[in-house]
């Protein structure tokens, strides 16, 4: 293998690694947000875990956060918790730093 091939392989490996970290951080962010929101809605026990999992799954529907915001807004319609779409997105993004820290401490 030539030096160029080695460099190309290294770039490909780094790209794959970075993409994996972003995916894991987003999933962790969504889980943390879902756990927080479940607590705000008065859920407890297994219902918290289930709800957080539903937030993670919702993010796989389309690119970006619109799918999560749409799901959460629909979930909040029948609850005592009131948040606008902008507030949902802001709170969701507030969990990203914690998610990144947790992921980096695991690797």
Distance (Å, whole) CA 99 – CA 26: 8
Q: Residues 22-26: what's their mean pLDDT? A: 93
Domain CATH code at residue 33: 1.10.790.20
- Percent of the chain exceeding pLDDT 90 equals 69
Encode 34-56: b = buried (16+ Cβ within 10 Å), e = exposed. bbbbbeebebeeeebeebbeebb
Domain that holds residue 32: 3-106
Counting the structural domains of the chain, the total is 1
Distance (Å, whole) CA 81 – CA 49: 19
Q: Which phi and psi (to 5°) does residue 36 adopt?
A: -65, -50
Q: pLDDT tens digit string along 59-107? A: 998 889 999 999 999 999 988 899 999 999 999 999 999 999 999 898 6
Q: pLDDT tens digit string along 39-53? A: 999 999 999 999 999
Helices 85-94 & 66-76 angle (0-180, nearest 10): 120
């Amino acid at each position: 293998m030539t030096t160029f091939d080695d460099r190309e392989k290294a770039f490909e490996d780094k790209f794959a690694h970075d993409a994996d970290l972003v995916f894991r951080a987003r999933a962790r962010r969504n889980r943390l947000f879902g756990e927080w929101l479940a607590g705000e809605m008065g859920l407890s026990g297994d219902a918290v875990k289930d709800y957080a999992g539903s937030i993670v799954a919702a993010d796989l529907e389309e690119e970006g956060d619109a799918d999560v915001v749409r799901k959460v807004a629909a979930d909040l319609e029948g609850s005592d918790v009131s948040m606008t779409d902008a507030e949902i997105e802001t709170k969701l993004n507030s969990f990203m730093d914690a998610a990144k820290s947790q992921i980096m401490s695991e690797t």
